[in-house]
Amino acid sequence: MFKIGVLVSGGGSNLQSIIDKSQSGELQCKVEVVIGDRECYGVERAKKAGIDGYILDRKVLKKELCRAIDKIVTEKDVDLIILAGFLSIIDEEFVNKWKEKIINIHPSLLPKFGGPGMYGIKVHEAVLNAGEKESGCTVHYVDTGVDSGEIIAQKKVAVLEGDTPEVLQKRVLVEEHKLLPESIAKIILERK
C-alpha cells in the first residue's frame, strides 16, 4: 500500500479529504502519520481517525524541526509527504533527501499569488485587490523555493462580484478538497 505522511499547521480540512477518501477505498493509499508544527486541529483529526499524530513544536525545535520530521517519516517509510496547510519552511537538506516525494497545496493559480508571505487569507485578499476574474488552487512538487516547484494539477474558480476574501477562500477550499486527492491518485498511478 502506498504510504503517506501529512504535515499540518491548522484546521486540516485537506488532510480530512485524504483520510476520508483513503478510508473509503476511493484513494489507494494509507495515511501513515500526521505531523503538526504546533498544536492544531489537524493532528486531532488524525488521532480521531486512528492515525499516529505528532506535534513537533517549531518554536522549540527551530532549525532542528526538519530533522525531527525526517526521523519520523523515515521510520514510517512513507512514499509521499504532503504539506497540507503546513506553515514552516522545509529546509534544503530535507527537500534534497525527499526529492519529488514532497507535494504542497496552495490556494491560488500558481505562479500567481505565491511566494514568501503568501498564505491563508492574504492570498485571497491579494487576488481581489488585483481585480482577478478567476482564482483557484494548485498542487505542486516542493523544491527549495517557496511555491515554486513543478505544478502537478490546478483547479479554477470564478471570482464573483461582491466576493470578500473569506467567501473566495471557501469557494477555493471546496476545490482543494477535490484537487489534492486527485493529485495523489495521479502520483500513485505514475509510481506503480
Binding site for ligand GRF (CB under 6 A): 10-15, 42, 84-85, 105-107, 137, 173, 176
124 is catalytic: no
**Grid coordinates standing for 128?**
481581489
Closest separation in Å from C-beta 137 to ligand GRF: 6
Closest separation in Å from C-beta 12 to ligand GRF: 5
CB of residue 192 vs ligand GRF: minimum separation in angstroms? 27
Our CB check for ligand GRF shows the closer of 15 and 65 to be 15
> By the 8 A CB rule, do 126 and 158 touch?
no
For residue 102, the cross-strand partners are 81
Contact yes or no for 120/45 (Cβ under 8 A): no
Distance, in Å, from the CA atom of 56 to the CA atom of 119, rounded to the nearest integer, reads 21
Cβ-based nearer residue to ligand GRF, 48 or 191: 48
- Residues β-bridged to residue 83: 7, 104
- Catalytic positions, please? 106
